[in-house]
Amino acid sequence: MNKVFVCKKADIPPNGMKECSSNLGQRVLVLDAGGTYFACQPDCPHQRVSLCEGFYDGETLTCYQHLWQWEIRTGAAVGPAEAPLQFYEIIVEGDSIYLKDAGTLIEG
C-alpha cells in the first residue's frame, strides 16, 4: 500500500475544512465530520469554484457560488447539485492524514 502525507489532524478545525496539498503537490479538501476525516476534490464539479471558500457545518458542504450541496459522509448531491463529489481514500495514523494509493479518486 502506498500512502502520501496530506496534513496533520490538528490542521483541520473541528467540524471544519481546509484545502491542503499532498507532499506530491496534489490539492485536496480535507474535512472533519465529528472526528471522522474525509478528503474530496477541492473544486466544485459545476464550475471549478474553490470549495474551501464555501460553507461547511460538519455534515453538508455548500459551494458559495451556486449553492450546490453535498452530504460529506456519502458524497451524495443535495438539492440543486447535479453531480456527486469525488473522494480520495485516506488513512489516518496517529495525528497524520494520508492519501491512500497516492490519491486515487473513489466514487462519492
Q: Please report, for the chain, the start and end positions of each structural domain, with discontinuous segments joined by +.
A: 3-102
Q: Report the distance separating Cα 15 and Cα 25, nearest Å.
A: 25
Tell me how crowded residue 55 is: count the other CB atoms within 10 A of its CB. Answer: 13
The CATH superfamily label for domain 3-102 reads Rieske [2Fe-2S] iron-sulphur domain (2.102.10.10)
What confidence tens digit (pLDDT) does each residue in 49-107 have?
Answer: 999 999 999 999 999 998 999 999 988 899 888 888 999 999 999 999 999 976 665 55
pLDDT band at 1 (very low <50, low <70, confident <90, very high): low
Closest to 50 in 3D by CA, of 60, 62, 58? 62
> Of how many residues is the chain composed?
108
pLDDT for the residue 74: 87
- At residue 23 the predicted structure's pLDDT band, cuts being 50, 70 and 90, is confident
Task: Tell me what pLDDT residue 79 has.
Answer: 87
